[in-house]
Structure 1
């Protein structure tokens, strides 16, 4: 395979200087040099040179008009405004957990984004970074599909850990991620940025609810609920009649998880206001655990589903609301609960988005049914 021709350095320089208003004459010179070298050496970069030369011509004309008409009086103010905006912006490679940002041009499918302005999470914003993931398992560029698959499965865990109180996450907050592009990979980009992004309107406040924002009792309760939810999400896709062994195994795991979390609830040192409702929740876990244990030993399909239904009926949403209210957590269940008896969320379809790092938004996976 023949090596790919190098990109002409003067073409790159022409584009860069053509963008910087005070250097546009230099961009014009560099563009002309680039054209000659590209033709002579067979290098790539003609498109960059064309763009840089065009920007340089326009910039030079505008500078001339500004200085001859007195319009340059506000030139310094413009530079200061640009510097302020630059200081507030972060490369998508450098976004960090807890930062909120805005996307001036919206979140569009297939759009590459080099940087975004970071803002206070108390102000309206488009997204909030929930964490970053290193991609050290890949040596060479693995392709977009491989990276997106890795990001989809791992960002789900990152977002769940960042926003333990799922009831407090707005319905308009979708789970997305930034992944490296082929070009950014060449420059050492090996990081996935996971985030919550507003699918419509703006996010009004932070969605963060983890060890940095919760007190010990709130954390203990939410981690207990999340543990049982994660076990529930592992339910086999095939029904009992197609995969009886897999369904029985899942029921056994549910029984074990509920029993373990019931013990954790009883062991916690609850505030007086929350103790009664928390212990009531532990009893519901015990009851549900017994039903799932029965389901794990079911020989007939009808017996299996009857036991599972009784397990779900044991987990009352009213009890969950009571614990949450006593602990100062969100008390309004999701708009579309998967089960009115226990207040679990029904998994939503992935939201449309873009893919990449320096840019591309791609919707991260949601817990499977």
Structure 2
């Protein structure tokens, strides 16, 4: 549920061959571009590869699919060790690392709150839940209520009703896995975008770094705020301006603070993060978004995370970017 950044391959006709496929996935859309593809790679083969990878990711970590591996884990009422795939364990472990780094601002056990506020698979009309319901959901939240085991892979819940939600990592995981599949086929120049999670390598069809547009965080409108250039890495954008509901003149975002049990209520409108790993970039963007316009940039600067913050103010937008992000900005 991240905000889509716009992928740009450059203006005019491409100088080199370019394959492109798009389609629906994870409740949003994907776009994959391959410049200078291997001679044997065809558009239909590319589409089949991407679809197979994304379908497998959904089968592992989706909360919208009741038959997925994660849904079965969530439905397990025990507090015993539950065997899981290495792939699911890796995503959960990444979430736990980001939780530690962010002091709990990021928490994959936030699912009960996401559902309570109407932003999960148990969809309900946007209404503000009462304090008692929020307090009850908060009892089931806390990344310290999970234990992980590497060999053999397993997860143990401290309470049987713990509900893990990996949507803040899912698009990044999808982008990372598609990128790996492309590289296994000999692809060296590509852009994989799943909503706001993007993984790129090499150069576009003009032989230049991939140009990616950060959206202006304005509800109901799509426009480019800033272009960045990147030739190897991942980036992800998280924001409060696409998925929300309004009640009593107040807007309630899908970005839930695991500490308060309520949607974020600060001035930070969006965060874009660059990282070597797409799953980590996805989670870090959400963590920094929840932390807000003061704590988010402070953590990103301290950890040397390339991050770009757009803060909403009465007069418009104010930008804060870390020193590590500067090299990606197009003049």
TM normalised by structure 1 equals 0.22
Greater C-alpha radius of gyration: 1
Bigger helix fraction: 1
Higher RCO (C-alpha under 8 Å, 6+ residues apart): 2
Bigger strand fraction: 2
